[in-house]
Amino acid sequence: MKLQALTSPSLISTGNVFHSKVEVIQHLVNKLAEAGKIDSKEIFLQAVLDRETHSPTGFEGGLAIPHGKSSTVKEAAFAVAVLKSPLTDWESIDPNNQVQLVILLAIPESEAGSTHLALLSELVTRLSDPSYKEKLLHSKTNTELYMRLDNMNTAETKKNVKKLDKTIIAITACPAGIAHTYMAAEALVKAGNELGVDVFVEKQGANGIEDRHTTALLKKADAVIFATDVAVKDEGRYAHLPKMKTSVAAPLRNAKEIIQQALEKAEREPKKEYDPTKNTSSSSDDLGGKTFKNEIKDSILTGVSYMIPIIVAGGMTLAAAVLISQTFGLQDVYNHEGSWLWLLRQLGSGLLGQLMVPILAAYMAYSIADKPALGPGFAAGVAANLIGSGFLGGMLGGFLAGFFLKFMKKNIQPKGTFAGFVSFWVYPVVGTLVVGSIMLFVIGEPLAWINQGLVKWLGSMSGTNAIILGAIIGAMVSFDLGGPVNKAAYTFCIGAMASGNIVPYAAFSSVKMVSAFSVTAATIIGKQYFNKQEKEIGKQTWLLGLAGITEGAIPFMINDPFRVIPSLIAGSAVTGAIVAYFHIGLSVPGAGIFSLALVKGQPILLAASIWLGAALIGALISMILLIITRKNKLKKEVRNNQSVALNKKVGGAS
């Protein structure tokens, strides 16, 4: 790759004095804007600062590579700053890193998985050569540094290193799957060359698995190194090898030491015969790991990512059953236990009502404590269903199962004759009994009391002010998107329907479309204010909304609950109030848009228009609030960062 094609002398600064990380980034963002590489300085600056909160972009040896992916970037480019005075407050993998060389990457969102990774990989490879980095650092002018970007030494000086007949394989993976993944891989390979050890690294990054270990390598290797901050994919391949586990940042500081420790472990614990049919749980050897904050975040994201396919499959299956019953007048078949349509309905509702929460809890636990936590995690989710705590209870159960199993793995290690007994009996059985008991007998009663109180409160309002009742139902539906508050509203509406009051359920079913429609609309109309993950969620929630499924917006809510929840409640309350005010009713439990032909209380066309129109009005209100609150949040963060930079500058000057 020609680096000069992605920058220019005007994008390079040498010898400048900066007082903070934010000041450097703002300077380079301004350079990119002046060169016509980005449309909006503010939006791109926020994208870069958002990325800074995920993991350190400072490395070692004076290097930092901040980067931002945004639709405001016209074409891939990078800007460079060589600092006259090093910065010591840049969050770095090496705590002692004093940043002197900053390379800011600007990547269009459409090239996040191609140009972004290729450029990072190329920079990491080149900058791992100390002589190349020193040439850039000692450039006196912008043009001189620009000319040196592609001036690599082709002749390598070979040292007389004694070649050892040893092979180490390694896996590198970071949460973002980009910079640290590749830099750790380069560090391990380089250290192996210096030690005379063959090192082959499989990178599990944003592009999937790269340089996958072959069967021949798995048989030949003496040990494996897991330099990862996320769960290793297909870890069972390495069951026969001595393992060393460390964080993805560790090889950047002491790659030689890690390789030497792996070799020592291989001497103490020789490898077993390779058997591809075995898939044992991971070792508990850890030299480092995630911070508690990252562990919580990664756990939630892992659980949600596994839960979403269940929501989609269950929702669409249930919607198909409802659509068939309502289109062809098969309500009796739909409600007749054992009929084909009843079975299809049970399949969809079973995925949503029975499997969704256990899947969430199980894979949250799996993210924290690997495979041994799956059984207790599923148990926690089942218990959450039994006590009626919804996805919030499932999340709590997932954390509980994950951290309890992590504690067990640390204190009860599978060694010797009883290794299999510990892994396949002690962990799942003890974990399930302890976690399940806590969920059922400690957490269950308070949550059940809350649910029952909400149902009684709603029931006491029946027959009073219809607008207030509709607004309360609407607010409760979108408060926790399928959680206990939502379920309390549902229980009340079903009970009211059974008693002959069909208005509450009509409000309930109309409101269930609001959150999904508003999230999709917000991420399309205000797409510049939302990140890639949120926009991906937005693409699918409207489909779930058509089926009356609120759970699709849960990942969106988790990312920013203090702004998203009030925004959704406001629009939902308006929708519920409109439906209740016009006395629109629904006497059959339906799902989303498929209830349109069954609404009552007014002439059919008027009733259908009011019922659907109320949902669209509520979605419009929530969409506007979602965009405004997110825009204000981003502006506030930019102002805060600028204020911090100014304070540091003033402090440095004084």
- Residue 518 and residue 500: Cα distance in Å, rounded? 32
Given a contact cutoff of 8 angstroms between Cβ atoms, the answer to whether 113 and 207 are in contact is yes
The label of the residue with tokens 């709590």 reads: 396
Give me the catalytic one of 19, 27, 54, 67. Answer: 67
CA distance 572 to 563: 15
Q: Which residues contact 381 (CB under 8 A, 6 or more apart)?
A: 357, 358, 359, 360, 361, 362, 394, 397, 398
* C-alpha gyration radius of the chain: 29
Q: What is the DSSP letter of 212?
A: P
Tokens of 201: 């690294």
H-helix segments, 128-230: 130-137, 142-148, 179-195, 215-220
What's the start-to-end Cα distance of the chain, in Å?
A: 44
Residue 199, helix vs strand vs coil: strand
CB of 504 closer than 8 Å to CB of 473: yes
| 493 assigned to active site | no
- Alpha-carbon span 468 to 64, nearest angstrom: 56
Amino acid at 55: S
Which pairing describes strands 223-228 and 243-246: parallel, antiparallel, or unpaired?
parallel
Alpha-helical runs (H) found in 352-502: 356-369, 374-386, 390-411, 419-421, 427-437, 444-461, 466-479, 484-498
Distance CA 20, CA 83 (A): 11
The continuous run of DSSP H or E covering 208 comes out as strand 208-210
For 38, the 3-state DSSP assignment is strand
Q: Which helix (H) or strand (E) holds 201?
A: strand 198-205
- Cβ–Cβ under 8 Å, residues 519 and 56: no
> In angstroms, what CA-CA distances link 311 with 153, 376, 485, 536?
54, 22, 19, 15
- Among 337, 371, 138, smallest CA distance to 236 is for 371
With 0-12 / 13-18 / 19 or more C-beta atoms within 10 angstroms meaning exposed / middle / buried, residue 31 is buried
Assigned token pair, 522: 């917000």
C-alpha separations of 536 from 308, 397, 542, 555 in Å: 12, 27, 12, 11
Choose the catalytic residue: 19, 116, 174, 240: 174
Question: 91 — alpha (psi -120 to 50), left (phi > 0) or beta?
Answer: beta
CA dist 107 and 117 (Å) reads 10
Q: What is the DSSP secondary-structure string of 108-131?
A: EGGGTTTHHHHHHHHHHHHHTSHH
Residue 338 φ/ψ region, left for φ over 0, alpha for ψ in the -120 to 50 degree band, beta for the rest: left
Q: Is 336 a catalytic residue?
A: no
Known catalytic residues are: 67, 174
